C-alpha cells in the first residue's frame, strides 16, 4: 500500500463498496475512478487532488486504485464483529437463498434490508442504510455464523 494516499472509508456506503467491487470485476474504469475519488481525500502526487484521478499519470492512478483495493480488502476482512448479533431463527433455507441471490445480483438495497432481519449492531438503526464499515461488519458476521452452522460449530 502506498503512503502517498489518504482516504476516509466513512465516505463510502456499503453500496459504494459493492459497486466498486463490481466495477473491478467488470473492468469498468469510469466507475472505479468515480468511487476512488469519493473515498480518497488527499494524495502526494504532482497533480493536486482537486484535478482528479484522470490528471494523474497512469502509474500514479494505478497506484491509487491498487491502494484503495488493498485497503478496503484489509478493512473488510479484518473488521471486528464482536458487537454484531446474528440470529437466523426467523429465516428458513429459502430466505437464506434469497439473501445470497440478492448479493449475487448486486441488489444491495435488498441485501441491506435482509441483513437487518438477522443481524444487528448496537447503535445502528434497523432502517438505516449501511456505511461501508457497518455493512462489511454485518456481512462478515452473517458469513461467519453461517460457516459455524455448516461446519457444525454453532
**pLDDT tens per residue across all 154 residues of the chain:** 567 899 998 899 999 999 999 999 999 999 999 999 999 999 999 999 999 999 999 999 999 999 999 999 988 888 999 999 999 999 999 999 999 999 999 999 999 999 999 999 989 999 889 999 999 999 999 999 999 999 999 7
Give pLDDT, residue 154. 75
pLDDT at 45: 94
The overall longest dimension of the chain from CA atoms, in Å, is: 55
CB atoms within 10 A of CB 131: 19
Residue 58 is placed in which grid cell? 497512469
Look at residue 77 in the predicted model and tell me its pLDDT: 84
User: In sequence order, what are the beta bridge partners of 5?
Assistant: 43
Rg (CA), the chain: 17
For residue 76, the model assigns a pLDDT of 84
Length in residues, the chain = 154
Question: Nearest Cα to 137, choosing from 114, 113, 153, 120?
Answer: 120
Amino acid at each position: 500500500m502506498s503512503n502517498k494516499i489518504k482516504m476516509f472509508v466513512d465516505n463510502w456506503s456499503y453500496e459504494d463498496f459493492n459497486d466498486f467491487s463490481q466495477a473491478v470485476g467488470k473492468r469498468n474504469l469510469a466507475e472505479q475512478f468515480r468511487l476512488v475519488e469519493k473515498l480518497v481525500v488527499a494524495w502526494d502526487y504532482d497533480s493536486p487532488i482537486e484535478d482528479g484521478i484522470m490528471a494523474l499519470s497512469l502509474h500514479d492512478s494505478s497506484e491509487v486504485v491498487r491502494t484503495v483495493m488493498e485497503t478496503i480488502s484489509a478493512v473488510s476482512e479484518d473488521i471486528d464483529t464482536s458487537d454484531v448479533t446474528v440470529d437466523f431463527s426467523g429465516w428458513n433455507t429459502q430466505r437464506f437463498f434469497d439473501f445470497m441471490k440478492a448479493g449475487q445480483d448486486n441488489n444491495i438495497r435488498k441485501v441491506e434490508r435482509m441483513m437487518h432481519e438477522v443481524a444487528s449492531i448496537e447503535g445502528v438503526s434497523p432502517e438505516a442504510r449501511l456505511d461501508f464499515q457497518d455493512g462489511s461488519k454485518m456481512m462478515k458476521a452473517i458469513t461467519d455464523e453461517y460457516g459455524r452452522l455448516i461446519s457444525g460449530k454453532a
